[in-house]
Amino acid sequence: MLSIAEGEEVVVTYTAAVDKMKVFAAFIREGLENGDLVDYSYPDEESKTVRAELRKHGIDVEKHERKGDLILETLTEYYMADGKFDKERLIKKGLNDRAEAKRRGYKHYRSLDDLGDFSFLNGQWQKYIEYWDDPEWESPSSPDAEILDYSPFVTELTAFSVEGIGEADLAEMLKAFWVTHPSYTVFIDLLGYTDAFSKLLGIPHEKLVGRKFLLEFDPASDYEKVIESLTKEAMANVCPIFVFTSRTSSLHAHLAKHSSVGFFLSSTSVSWPESTSKNEVLLPANNPPLILDSLGKVLEEYFNANVFLVFDKISELINLVSFDRTYEFLLYASEMLLRPRATAMFLLNTSAHEPPVVSRVRGLFNNLLAYDKNGLKIVKVS
C-alpha cells in the first residue's frame, strides 16, 4: 500500500500520532504473501507488543516464524549483538543474509528497519547513516556480489520517529539518507499523508470515510492535485483505492506512478472487461452495467475495508450513452455505495453540459466541491 517498487529504498518518518503498525503490517503481509523473506527490526521497548500488533493486522506470526520467512528482532538484538555497533560485522551479516535468502529460493529479501528515535545508538543517527551509506552495500567484495547489489531482489523500508526533532536537524537527516542513493530512495511522511485530503475540508480522516462527493472541475485547472491528495491519504491509512478513468486521461498520467492504485480504464476497443496488468483493467466505455459490475466486485472483495473510489469520466459517459442512461448509472452506483466504509469521488466537467444537466447530477450528492484556476472551493459538506 506504500507503492514500494522492487529494488527501492523507502524512508518513512512518523510520530506517535500515526498508527505506524498498520502501515508496517501491510508491508510485511504483502511480502509474506508474495513469497519474500521478511526481516523486521524494531525498537526494544516494543518487544512485548510487536507480535500482538502484527496478529491484530492479520499476520499469523507464529506460523511464519516457524517457516523461517519472518524474522523478528529488536534493534539491540540485531545491531548490538556483541554489545557494540560494529559496522563491518553488520554489513557482512547483511550481505550474507541476502545471499542466503537468494539461495533458499525467496522471491525477494524484504527488510524493515524501524529505528525509532535512534536510542539504541544513544541518538547518534550519524553512525547508522555511515553504515547505511557504506559503498560495500552496492559493490560488495563478496563471492555472491552479483546478487547482493540493489537489484529488484532487495526491497527496503527504513523508518524513524521525528518526534521532537527540529526542522533543521530533520532536513540534515533526510539529506544524509538521500545523498548516496538518489535514484531509488523514496521519502514518505506518514503524518503528512494521513489527512492529505481531509485537511482541505477541515475535517479529520475519520469524518471523511464514508462520504460521497461530486467534484465539479475546470479541465484547464490542475484539479488532479485534489485527487492525488485523496490518493495519498488512502495509501497512508492503508486503504485500497480504485480509479475509474481512461488510459489517455490526465488523471491516469498523474496517478500511474502509484503502483498500489487500481485502475479501471474505459476503452472503445473492448467489449468485455480485460485485465492488462496487475493493477489495470480495461472496461467498455459505453457499457454502464459492466462498470457497475466491476464496482460491485470491488465492494465485495473489500467488504471489511475502508475503500476509496474515484469516478473520472461522468462527462464522457454522458456523451457516449446519453444523459438518461448516465443518470441511471449514477443512481445505481449511489445505492451500491450506501455502505458506510466506502468513500467515493465523482468528477464532472461542468463546462461540457447545460445547467439543467449539472443541476440534476448535483441533486444526487450531499457533498459538493468545485475546483478551478483559483483552487478548491467547498460548496457544501453535509
- List the chain pLDDT tens, one digit each, 382 residues: 556 777 778 888 888 877 899 889 999 999 999 999 999 999 999 999 999 999 999 999 999 999 999 999 999 999 998 889 999 999 999 999 998 999 999 999 999 999 999 999 999 999 998 998 888 877 666 555 554 544 678 889 999 998 877 767 777 887 787 765 555 456 666 666 778 899 999 998 889 999 999 999 999 999 999 999 999 888 777 788 999 999 899 999 989 877 778 999 999 899 999 998 888 999 999 999 999 999 999 999 888 888 999 999 899 999 999 999 999 999 999 999 998 889 999 999 999 999 999 999 999 999 999 999 999 999 998 8
In terms of CATH architecture, what is 9-192?
3-Layer(aba) Sandwich (3.40)
Give CA–CA dist 334/314, Å, rounded.
13
The answer to whether the pTM exceeds 0.85 is no
Asked whether 246 and 265 are in contact (CB, 8 A), the reply is yes
Cβ-contact 70, 64 below 8 angstroms: yes
Predicted local confidence at residue 150, as pLDDT: 47
The pLDDT, as a whole number, for residue 193 is: 76
Domain with CATH 3.40.50.300 in the chain: 9-192, 198-380
Integer-rounded Cα Rg, in Å, for the chain is: 23
List, in order, residues 6 or more apart from 251 with CB less than 8 Å away. 224, 227, 243, 245, 310, 312, 347
Distance of alpha carbon 222 from alpha carbon 226, whole angstroms: 8
Residue listed under C-alpha cell 545471499: 99
The dotted CATH code for 198-380 is 3.40.50.300
Per-residue confidence (pLDDT) for residue 110, from 0 to 100 = 94
pLDDT recorded at residue 139: 66
Nearest alpha-carbon partner for 317 in 279, 355, 348, 362? 348
